[in-house]
Amino acid sequence: MSPTLKAHRLIGNAARACARIPVLCLIAPALLFPACPHAATITYKRVSNLPYSQEPEEQQTDYQKERCVLDLYYPEKRTGFATVVWYHGGGLTAGNKHFPGLTGKHLGLVAVNYRLHPGVSCETAISDAAAALAWTFKNIATYGGDPTLIFVSGSSAGGYLTSMLGFDKRWLAKYGVDADAIKGLIPYTGHTITHMTVRKERYALNSRIPVIDEFAPIYHARADAPPVLLLTGDRRLEMLGRCEENELFYRVLKNIGHPHVEHLEFEGYGHGMSHPANPVALKWITKVIGCSPKALIVPLDYSWSYTKRDRKYPWRNRGTNAENEKKKPSVELLTAVGREGSGCLAVRDISTATNAYGESPALPVRPGREYVLTGWVKNEEVGDGIAGVCFNVTQSGRIRKQTKNTRFPATAEWSRFEVACPPVAEGMDGLILYILPRPPGQPNTTTGAVLFDDLRICEQPKAKQ
């Protein structure tokens, strides 16, 4: 553990709360990933109709040989890349393998065909999907992929298959794979109750009558499942109940303590919402890779334009002088241009005093866990404007003590950083992040400016005893 330093006075109300408690020494910011080699052109290779069935060929039917194949798309002469296994939609009765709009993104992609109802039972279709995913785990390293970075995704029926494989561990266990080895699940507008074709097959029910049985992902809800991003279209434009059942799944997972689940509803889009969802899925994949497999990701940026229901974390401006705060805000929090044209959280000190900062709400944390702040940062005006960040832990909304303080070096380029906090003490339930746009004692004539992109707090898994 880091040695203890003497407490020192921080700025604003944060200063008064922090000054009473010892401050742990800083951990130098570190890059999570090496920089992408933009100088070399990345080429991609496609391999079509690879058989994935584990049954002996002589025992397979002609239909099985036709449908139990997959296409592989991957960056050549690269190693360690993440892979997305993609299942097509079509109600388990139609559709063909295709790659989603994630090509050319340094990812490997696996597009899967599976047998369809009524040619086979719906149970067989799920088993085929599991066999294709197991093939990927066992073979992707041959093509340079990292078998620990496999994401599963798909649209509509493909989204249903994604959730079934990730939450009901029996399907992959049949092929010798642990479902918890999946890095992340990204079902696009998939059923979370029993699929409508399964209902028709098993109960002769029409698609409007809901059922939750062993063929429903929500039936297998568990807190230790892989990270999951539920994506649906607008509830006014979606297929009947599709958005609501995903929202229910989200609520159930949150209630049982799943640490990393989000449900995003794309307003203005119906069931076919892949176009706006693809870049969101790609950004989420990047975030999950940047955090631990069981990380809790709390979005702090203002960069996404879609709806984040019940997951908005507004910041506020603070300063030490109440009279000055009445006249004008001491810190300006706004949306600005981030890396690659994305939006980001910008903090500018526009006060005449040095004691100004931006304050997040109390973000939910758990005692005994360690948290890491990650993201990208740069100084908009190169100089001494950047100060850094400070963390305070809270109990029932009241600040108790500071846990970390760090400063960022001035830089004109975007730099990835990581700042670790010590374990949260028993009884504490919140973590407040303060952004300090100007260090204490800096001359009043200097205006600080700091920009953050992809800012998030990741919960680290408990170490095994």
Query: Do 115 and 154 fall into the same domain?
Result: yes
Query: Do 89 and 237 fall into the same domain?
Result: yes
pTM of the model: 0.61
Go through 207-226 and write b for each residue having 16 or more CB atoms within 10 A of its CB, e for each that does not: eeeebeeebbbbbbbeeebb
Boundary (domain end) residue, out of 255, 290, 325: 290
Please give the tally of structural domains in the chain. 2
- Asked, for residue 300, whether it belongs to a domain, the answer is no
pLDDT at 137 over 80: yes
- Asked, for residue 35, whether it belongs to a domain, the answer is no
Boundary (domain end) residue, out of 236, 264, 290: 290
Considering only residues 288 and 18, tell me which one the structure prediction assigns the higher pLDDT.
Answer: 288
d(CA 107, CA 153): 13
Give CA torsion, residues 286, 287, 293, 296, to 10 deg: -170
178-198 pLDDT, tens digit per residue, is 999 999 999 999 999 999 999
DSSP state of 424: P
Q: Report, as an integer, the average pLDDT of 318-333.
A: 52
| First-residue to last-residue Cα distance in the chain | 17
In this structure, of 298-302, 365-369, 384-388, the range with the lowest mean pLDDT score is: 298-302
pLDDT at 319 over 60: no
- Asked, for residue 299, whether it belongs to a domain, the answer is no
Boundary (domain end) residue, out of 244, 261, 290: 290
CA-closest candidate to residue 237, choices 218, 262, 265, 278 = 265
For all residues of the chain together, what is the average pLDDT?
77
In this structure, of 16-25, 132-141, 314-323, the range with the lowest mean pLDDT score is: 16-25
Hey, CA dihedral for 7, 10, 15, 18, is it positive or negative?
negative
Query: Do 284 and 372 fall into the same domain?
Result: no
DSSP state of 174: T
Confidence of residue 290 (pLDDT cuts 50, 70, 90): low
pLDDT at 361 over 90: no
Query: Do 56 and 139 fall into the same domain?
Result: yes
d(CA 230, CA 187): 6
Highest mean predicted confidence (pLDDT) among 22-26, 222-226, 327-331, 340-344: 222-226
Decide: helix, strand or coil at residue 451. strand
Decide: helix, strand or coil at residue 325. helix
- Whole-number pLDDT of residue 172: 98
88 half-sphere exposure, CB direction, 13 A CA radius: 18
38-53 pLDDT, tens digit per residue, is 334 678 999 999 999 9
- Whole-number pLDDT of residue 332: 60
Confidence of residue 373 (pLDDT cuts 50, 70, 90): confident
- Whole-number pLDDT of residue 156: 96
Query: Do 105 and 139 fall into the same domain?
Result: yes
- Whole-number pLDDT of residue 438: 62
- Whole-number pLDDT of residue 3: 31
Query: Do 315 and 413 fall into the same domain?
Result: yes
The CA–CA distances, whole Å, from 333 to 301, 322, 330, 428, 449 equal 11, 18, 10, 28, 10
Considering only residues 391 and 321, tell me which one the structure prediction assigns the higher pLDDT.
Answer: 391
- Whole-number pLDDT of residue 313: 44
- Asked, for residue 49, whether it belongs to a domain, the answer is yes
Query: Do 48 and 130 fall into the same domain?
Result: yes
Pinpoint the alpha helices (H) of 182-273: 196-203, 242-255
- Whole-number pLDDT of residue 12: 36
What's the 3-state SS for 45-59?
EEEEEEECCCCCHHH
Q: Report, as an integer, the average pLDDT of 390-404.
A: 79
Confidence of residue 342 (pLDDT cuts 50, 70, 90): low
Considering only residues 347 and 64, tell me which one the structure prediction assigns the higher pLDDT.
Answer: 64
Of all residues in the chain, the percent with pLDDT exceeding 70 is 70
108-135 pLDDT, tens digit per residue, is 999 999 999 999 999 999 999 999 999 9
Is 389:345 a contact under the CB 8 Å cutoff? Answer: no
Query: Do 455 and 323 fall into the same domain?
Result: yes
Domain that holds residue 98: 44-290
Considering only residues 206 and 170, tell me which one the structure prediction assigns the higher pLDDT.
Answer: 170
211-237 pLDDT, tens digit per residue, is 999 999 999 999 999 999 999 999 999
Query: Do 225 and 150 fall into the same domain?
Result: yes
pLDDT at 378 over 60: yes
- Asked, for residue 185, whether it belongs to a domain, the answer is yes
Query: Do 99 and 191 fall into the same domain?
Result: yes
Is 26:408 a contact under the CB 8 Å cutoff? Answer: no
CATH number of the domain encompassing residue 143: 3.40.50.1820
pLDDT at 82 over 50: yes
- Whole-number pLDDT of residue 449: 66
Query: Do 272 and 198 fall into the same domain?
Result: yes
- Asked, for residue 37, whether it belongs to a domain, the answer is no
Highest mean predicted confidence (pLDDT) among 2-6, 126-130, 423-427: 126-130
**Cα 272–chain centre separation:** 22
Query: Do 215 and 327 fall into the same domain?
Result: no
CATH number of the domain encompassing residue 344: 2.60.120.260
Q: Report, as an integer, the average pLDDT of 98-107.
A: 89
Considering only residues 367 and 170, tell me which one the structure prediction assigns the higher pLDDT.
Answer: 170
- Asked, for residue 442, whether it belongs to a domain, the answer is yes
Considering only residues 75 and 13, tell me which one the structure prediction assigns the higher pLDDT.
Answer: 75
Q: Report, as an integer, the average pLDDT of 77-94.
A: 94
- Asked, for residue 465, whether it belongs to a domain, the answer is no
